[in-house]
Structure 1
Amino acid sequence: MKKIALILIVVSFTFCKTNKNEAEKVKINNEWQDLIDKNLSSWDVWMGAPHTSTEIEGYEKFDDVRIGKPIGLNKDPKKVFSVIKQGNENVLKITGEIFAGLVTKKEYKNYHLKWQFKWGNKKWKPRLNKKRNSGILYHSVGDYTDFWNVWMTSLECEVQETDCGDFITIGEGKTDVKAKSPSTKIGDKYVFDPAGKLNDFSWNRPDFETGRCFKPGDPEKPHGEWNTMELICLDNVSIHVLNGKIVMIVKDGFAKLNGTWQTMTEGKIQIQSEAAEIYYKQMKLKQISEIPQFCKKQASAFFNKKNS
């Protein structure tokens, strides 16, 4: 009898302790976590292939960096990624000189990611005559080399001049990505519309027209000013927010890896270096269990749908 009582006490204590630990874990995860410190300790670097115009020794260069040999993991000979101080703030500087990805060491699910960015002035080949470009790739899975030998299979929240918040599927060749977004076709483009039909997006499937959905309007601030962007992911829905305005909703993402389709509800986060100088700061993340009220209010036409 004493043994039974002792066992019950131990079980009860363990149960209470476990519950306490779980509660503490939830509390910690629901707090904002800063992702940019002076050492970029939350990140790995995957460095792609240098362009023939890049001033670099000891590495093969390529006219088409999309098919070139990447420099590899945690090798950054040109200091494409660095942290500088502006006042008391840590600011991530991306030179853009080589196509590359800053990749979280952890995978994330059900979260609210928030950051600020502004464009620098420098641009590099092979995109000298194109819009300045970067991007946040989320629910990233697969290999570092899945897309253009530099980015993982993923969903993209575009960060590109006048196109911030656009949605793009990132997968080709041996991988594939498909997803849906409420949108309306205007000319030859699909434009986000919370009251629109859920259209399918993929680059690799002949029954889908495109892998890109465009945001409506352009709430981006002038060159050189800080913009605020947010990415909200809960289960099979993700929301792109630019300067307080919802510009995209994505639903039901799937990735095809090794011939098998899997849902895209979690994964690593990548920040792109893509031939343009850009700065990121105040990047923070917290876990969520529901869609924020401001999203439900702004996009009520989507969230009030029975099958949304």
Structure 2
Amino acid sequence: MLDRRSAMKAFGLAGMSSMLPLRLLAEPPGRSAGEWQSLFNGRDLEGWTFYHDKVGDRDVHRVVSIEQGILHFLGPRFDRAQKSTMGHIATTKEWSNYHLRLDFKWGEERYSPRSLQRRNSGILYHMGPERDRLFPDCVEFQVEEGDVGDAIMVNTRGLPGPLLGGTPLWPNWIPALPTTYDQPQVAGGIARQWFRHSGNYENLTGWNTLDLYAIGDQAAHLVNGRIVLTVFSMINSHGAADEVRPLTGGRIALEFEAAEVMFRNVRIRQLDDSLIARLKQG
């Protein structure tokens, strides 16, 4: 990955221009991009599927509780005698070219097998249709203490945006940059690439706002209003070579991974062609 000095020397104003859309991204786009709509209605899981690893598609152990519009995973009502503590809820609808925004906050509880580890959750996006797998093919917007904003490519691949001018490249890939995908690490039958965030803006004790811009085969991760990671040229690489294709859409999921976590204000809006064109002008 390029450091600041070498990137600025090699690309000059290209690095500076990559920062210009930050101001645009930090504020919601105009009405022409479409109205915000709620993905979570604050009452129940209408529009979502549920999956509890080793249990199934019914919440028989009270993983989910909903109070005052807050979605609460593994809270006080959870059956603590239940050994399985991982799973997700996922939208029934597939999404592409969108801006997702939500708030999250950690609870206090951690469970086996991670009772001594960092609290962990995540947003899965561009997820495949599988409804009975803990980790379907997807991209993960990592939500873990100290790693909020990382990207984990799960049976998918991408090119991480290099640091130009001190912030991850966005929104255009510079032709002079490498286009070769790193080899993933394979464990448990899953191939993963892990791209690290730049800048730590997470609040460990209160609410945090996360934004995801997914545009074609690229994405930007924002934590409390700052871009911390970008990824380009995403592909669905799981399967035969002739099945590799650009990864541009899919379902969206919220994970529970052995730690108490809360979500609220889960909203989304489509990005129209005019706004995407503005973003890509740099």
TM bracket (short chain): 0.7 to 0.9
Q: Distance in 2 between matches of 1:108 and 1:35?
A: 11
Superposed displacement of residue 193, structure 1: 3.6
TM-score computed with the length of structure 2 as normaliser: 0.73
1:202–1:212 contact (8 Å) kept in structure 2? no
CA contact (8 A) 1:182 1:192 kept: no
How many percent identity over aligned positions? 27
Cα gap change, 1:166 to 1:292, in 2 (>3 Å) = farther
- In structure 2, the residue matched to 1:266 is 249
Q: Which has the larger radius of gyration?
A: 1
Partner of 2:230: 249
> Structure 1 124/114 Cα, relative in aligned 2: closer, same or farther at 3 Å?
same
Unpaired stretches in structure 1, ≥5 consecutive residues: 1-26, 50-70, 172-176, 185-190, 297-301
Pair 1:160 & 2:163 matched = no
Whole-angstrom distance in 2 between the partners of 1:279 and 1:105 = 21
Residue by residue over 1:26-67, the C-alpha shift from the partner in whole angstroms, topping out at 9 and shown as x without a partner, is x89811111122012121101102xxxxxxxxxxxxxxxxxx
In structure 1, how many angstroms separate the alpha carbons of the residues matched to 2:169 and 2:33? 30
Q: Counterpart amino acid of 1:267?
A: G
Higher relative contact order (CA 8 A, sep 6+): 2
Number of the residue aligned with 2:267: 284
Aligned to 1:94: 73
Give the TM-score normalised by structure 1.
0.67
Deviation, structure 1 residue 203: 2.3
- C-alpha change, 1:166 and 1:287, in structure 2 (3 Å) is same
Provide closer, same or farther for how the CA distance between residues 77 and 220 of structure 1 changes in structure 2, counting only shifts above 3 A: same
1:47 aligned to 2:52? Answer: yes
- Answering whether residue 159 of structure 2 is matched by residue 180 of structure 1, we say yes
113-122 vs 232-241, which moves further: 232-241
Q: Measure the CA separation in 2 of the matches of 1:193 and 1:130.
A: 28
Checking the alignment, whether the CA contact within 8 Å between 2:129 and 2:251 is kept in structure 1 is: no
Superposed CA offset, 1:217-266 (max 9, x none): 21111x22000000011112111000000011111111134422122101
Counterparts of 2:97 and 2:270, CA distance in 1 = 6
Paired residues for 1:17-166 under 5 Å: 30-37=34-41, 38-49=43-54, 71-73=55-57, 75-85=58-68, 90-95=69-74, 98-145=85-132, 149-166=133-150
